[in-house]
Chains A and B, each alone.
Chain A
């Protein structure tokens, strides 16, 4: 019942997310005159799928904030916080949002996989399994961010600001060659003899997971009643964000911008 209630309110997310994924896939640049350029290589194709988060994550973060502000108002949260299962509404909202985003991603990767198999694309260009995890991990961080921001600020203006902010964050990480947060890489050129570096992908997944977990813990702290919020949760949140910094810093120090490695 609880998931159905939230699904009824947010059912439009899945078709919107799916449209976003296909919009991204349709708009990648042609490769060697072949348009669309994504139908020839597994590594490239998975990169495009993950790269859908460039638009999907800002959209999902903004939608998560909107649900928390508009559909689950602050005054009501105090009323439910005293109930035995009161805080579970955060889990329900998260599950419904995340699963719809993930379903859109899986549909897109399904199309990508069928095309690759049909064309007999070379599998060695893919960095498996890590290329499969970066998108879902970024989506987790983005939805957790949207929910935390929506819970913290009750003003509708944060919705577009958040969407725009997450979109711009891509520039910071991707163009600097750092492990990416919230939005993951979309290839803008086709590397026939190269594939994404495993360490870079692993760091990207870990970065998103620890940031998402930190935000989720912060959300849990926020949804408790004032004067009854355990400080331990804030410590947990700080530890997660410290871990994110620990993952991120080696790339900054090394100045290693190359995110691809040669095959073989």
Chain B
């Protein structure tokens, strides 16, 4: 058996916004499986997610996805073709139908019209929105909107799935549904961010803890990890 290939390789990554250091020399390798990215609010989780998704050019360092440089001129398209991203907060075109948005995003990924529509239907069905295909996004509940975002990420059928706080703003029941959906539908390499340990406990095999832009822990998730452990690690509280 050969050496396993890291699907995502992040080397010496830094992100600076004006004078604020959001990510500080982050190095990380992601292999297939569900990896939890945990950190308090403002720790840099969303910045790391956006950078991995190709939406935020690093101030320093490199991001390689499937061996391709995500910010290199010639390799960017190949790298991003293997990544799907569910953003934490994304405004929605409220007057657009759920099926239209997901199919449109599929088409933008390079699918032809017919297969984009089929994929959109399949992924909306997978997240339990069969009855809401033609519903306008403005009429859906917060939980359903998060599911539409999950559906568009799943529709990409990508090797790497970036889920940025998928349970943000959801009530306990909706949160439970979201955890179930992620467990049932996601495959390949999944990076799942949250500020709640409880959200990821059932899903992840590995945990990466981010604090003030730095990785302070990277290892297997165990039952001994709890809010107290997290607080000791970061000086903050989770879950």
A5 in contact with B96 given A80-B108, A82-B54, A225-B57 (CB within 8 Å): yes
Contact of A2 among B56, B81, B107, B109 (CB under 8 A): B107
Complex Cα distance A88/B105, Å?
Answer: 11
Interface size on B, residues (CB 8 A): 31
Complex Cα distance A149/B178, Å?
Answer: 38
Q: Is B91 an interface residue when CB atoms closer than 8 A count as contact?
A: yes
Q: Interface segment, B82-90, B123-131, B167-175, B183-191?
A: B82-90
User: Which residues of B in the span 90-113 have a Cβ within 8 Å of any Cβ on A?
Assistant: 90-96, 100, 103-105, 107-110, 113
Complex Cα distance A70/B96, Å?
Answer: 11
CB distance from A221 to the nearest CB of B (A): 15
Contact of A74 among B81, B83, B91, B100 (CB under 8 A): B91
Instruction: List, in ascending order, chain B residues with CB within 8 A of A70's CB.
Output: 93-95
Interface size on A, residues (CB 8 A): 27
With CB as the reference atom, state the residue of chain A lying closest to B59.
A227
**B104 x A76 contact (CB < 8 A):** no
**A82 x B95 contact (CB < 8 A):** no
Q: Is B163 an interface residue when CB atoms closer than 8 A count as contact?
A: no
Q: Count CB-based A-B contacts (< 8 Å).
A: 79
Instruction: List, in ascending order, chain B residues with CB within 8 A of A85's CB.
Output: 107-110
With CB as the reference atom, state the residue of chain A lying closest to B83.
A82
Which of A5, A82, A227, A228 has most chain B Cβ within 10 Å?
A: A82
**A1 x B107 contact (CB < 8 A):** yes
CB distance from A230 to the nearest CB of B (A): 11
Contact of A75 among B56, B80, B91, B113 (CB under 8 A): B91
CB distance from B149 to the nearest CB of A (A): 9
Instruction: List, in ascending order, chain A residues with CB within 8 A of B96's CB.
Output: 5, 9, 71
Q: Is B53 an interface residue when CB atoms closer than 8 A count as contact?
A: yes
Q: Is A73 an interface residue when CB atoms closer than 8 A count as contact?
A: yes
Instruction: List, in ascending order, chain B residues with CB within 8 A of A74's CB.
Output: 91
A84 in contact with B81 given A1-B117, A2-B107, A5-B100 (CB within 8 Å): yes
**B117 x A83 contact (CB < 8 A):** no
> A73-B91, A75-B89, A226-B56 known; 5 other A-B pairs, CB under 8 Å?
A5-B100, A79-B55, A83-B108, A84-B108, A225-B55
Question: What would be 29 A-B contacts, judged by CB atoms less than 8 Å apart?
Answer: A1-B103, A1-B104, A1-B107, A1-B117, A2-B107, A5-B96, A5-B100, A9-B93, A9-B95, A9-B96, A73-B91, A75-B90, A75-B91, A76-B90, A76-B91, A78-B87, A79-B55, A79-B85, A79-B105, A80-B108, A81-B55, A82-B54, A83-B109, A84-B108, A84-B110, A85-B107, A85-B108, A225-B56, A226-B57
Q: Which B residues have a C-beta under 8 Å from some C-beta of A?
A: 50, 53-57, 77, 80-81, 83, 85, 87, 89-96, 100, 103-105, 107-110, 113, 116-117
Q: Which A residues have a C-beta under 8 Å from some C-beta of B?
A: 1-2, 5, 8-9, 70-76, 78-86, 88-89, 225-228
- Lowest 8 A-B CB distances belong to which pairs? A73-B91, A75-B91, A227-B57, A83-B108, A85-B108, A82-B54, A1-B113, A75-B90
